[in-house]
Amino acid sequence: MSSSSSSSTTTTTRPVPRRESPWGRPEGDTRQPKAHRCNDRAEDFVQACFEGNPFKTVPGPFKLFYRCMRSKPGEEPTEPFTYLDLDPPRREEIKLEEAF
């Protein structure tokens, strides 16, 4: 990676399930919840816990989840998910123009 380019990770945002509160929401409150950037990695790890022998199925997804949690935003791992049928995040190279 050269110093004249930077990378960012693009992820698709899936809607977060909502429950209606018996107390409702304050008037004018239009905030929507946003899933954590590593939520899909966590779901892949949880799914691995229920697939066959956990000593064999859990380490891979857990390592990717741990790497995702320790990474900075935009630097999440791009390896494919093990058990989820989702496209992994991908990095897009952004070329910066060099000024002379």
pLDDT in tens, 26-62: 677 777 778 899 999 999 999 999 999 999 999 999 9
DSSP SS3 for 90:
strand
How far, in Å, are 7, 9, 11 from residue 95 at the CA level? Answer: 9, 14, 20
Q: How many CB atoms lie within 10 A of CB 46?
A: 13
What is the pTM assigned to this prediction?
Answer: 0.66
* Nearest-angstrom CA–CA distance, 21 and 36: 22
Terminal Cα-to-Cα distance of the chain (whole angstroms): 21
Mean pLDDT across 8-15? 60
Q: What residue spans of 24-89 are helical by DSSP H? A: 39-48, 54-57, 59-70
